[in-house]
């Protein structure tokens, strides 16, 4: 069975965008699920942020202020940044930082730093879906790297 149609043929498929087949009750339940899912995801992200940073000192000393730790920008970053995107952003901002030029054996300091943070996230059982955002938060809050928002 081929799913491809020539320009002269008319495909015999239902248009799911026009009629999704859900009853109004089902649509209401789906919308309710979707809105509670986003809230639950944000709460879960907050829990992982609090747990991971609970014993880490702020880059300029002392405890990390709660308003700098738990805010909408950080929660959004933890939810939306994957590891690849985060590592790319981290290396971009670390390239001018003095740690990137320090050669530590076969790897430079920036590579060692990012890989050690990712290892720490893994050891803390942080889901990989949240690891990217937490990596960037770590660099900013613990290492003092500025990302310029």
Distance CA 80, CA 132 (A): 8
Task: Report the pLDDT value the prediction gives residue 98, as an integer from 0 to 100.
Answer: 65
- Per-residue DSSP letter, 63: B
Beta bridge partners of 108: 103
Position 68 scores a pLDDT of 93
- pTM, rounded to two decimals: 0.74
- Please report where in the chains the tokens 């530590």 appear, as a residue: 104
Q: Coil, helix or strand for 103? A: strand
Per-residue pLDDT of the chain (149 residues; tens, 9 = 90+): 334 444 444 444 444 444 567 888 888 888 888 778 888 999 999 999 999 999 999 999 999 999 999 999 999 999 999 999 999 999 888 887 766 555 556 677 888 899 999 999 999 999 999 999 999 999 999 999 988 75
């Amino acid at each position: 069975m081929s799913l491809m149609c020539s320009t002269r043929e008319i495909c015999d498929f239902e248009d799911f965008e026009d009629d999704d087949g859900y009853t109004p009750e089902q649509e209401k339940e789906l919308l309710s699920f979707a809105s509670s899912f986003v809230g639950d995801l944000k709460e879960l992200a907050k829990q992982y942020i609090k747990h991971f940073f609970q014993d880490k000192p702020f880059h300029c000393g002392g405890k990390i202020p709660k308003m700098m730790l738990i805010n909408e920008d950080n929660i959004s970053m933890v939810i939306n940044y994957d590891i690849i995107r985060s590592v790319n952003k981290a290396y971009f901002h670390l390239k001018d930082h003095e740690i990137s030029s320090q050669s530590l054996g076969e790897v430079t300091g920036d590579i060692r730093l990012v890989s050690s943070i990712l290892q720490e996230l893994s050891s803390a059982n942080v889901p990989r879906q949240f690891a990217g955002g937490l990596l960037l938060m770590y660099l900013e809050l613990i290492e003092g790297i500025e990302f310029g928002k």
